[in-house]
Structure 1
Amino acid sequence: MNSARYDHTASVLTNGKVLVTGGQNGISSLNSAKLYDPSTGTWTMTGSMNYARYLHAASVLTNGKVLVTGGLMNTALNNSELY
């Protein structure tokens, strides 16, 4: 990972890669998402979320997609996004 973040989620995908979403960097909330490939040790950017969020939840669904829900961005969020 090129930059520090905390209060994010990390979800192991069905292909073995790890999806990291949102969080904070000490200055602001993040809407970015990155994929980590443990077989190569590399990070790549993937599509950003519609909303910056931290302290949220992420669940890998049976179809392999990731449901990102709730969290905070100044106030509590009541929306979700599907990766």
Structure 2
Amino acid sequence: MIHNRRFHKSSVLTNGKVLVTGGENSVGSLNSAELYNPSTGTWTLIDNMNNSRYHHTSSLLTNGKILIAGGQQISALKSAELYQS
């Protein structure tokens, strides 16, 4: 991965790539997201999430989008956002 992180989530996309979102590091909660391409073994930074979060959910929907929901910053979050895979 490009950024050190823990308490993040990952989802395997329909194209076989892996989306890794959020988490935290020694500085605090993260809003960054990365794609891993297992064919090339490379990581790519993609657009940041709207909110930094850790301990969230990451679910692949039937339309191919990823639902990122809940989690924590300093306190619990009730927000959600979608990523297009």
Q: Same fold (TM over 0.5)?
A: yes
For residue 27 of structure 1, report the CA deviation from its aligned partner.
1.7
Q: CA RMSD in A?
A: 0.6
* Residue of structure 2 in register with 1:16 after alignment: 16
* Residue of structure 2 in register with 1:2 after alignment: 2
Q: Say whether 1:69 aligns with 2:61.
A: no
Distance across 2 between alignment mates of 1:49 and 1:56? 12
Q: Could you state the TM-score of these two structures normalised by the residue count of structure 1?
A: 0.97
Show structure 2 runs of 5+ residues with no match: none
Distance across 2 between alignment mates of 1:22 and 1:2? 12
Show structure 1 runs of 5+ residues with no match: none
Distance across 2 between alignment mates of 1:68 and 1:3? 19
Identity %: 60
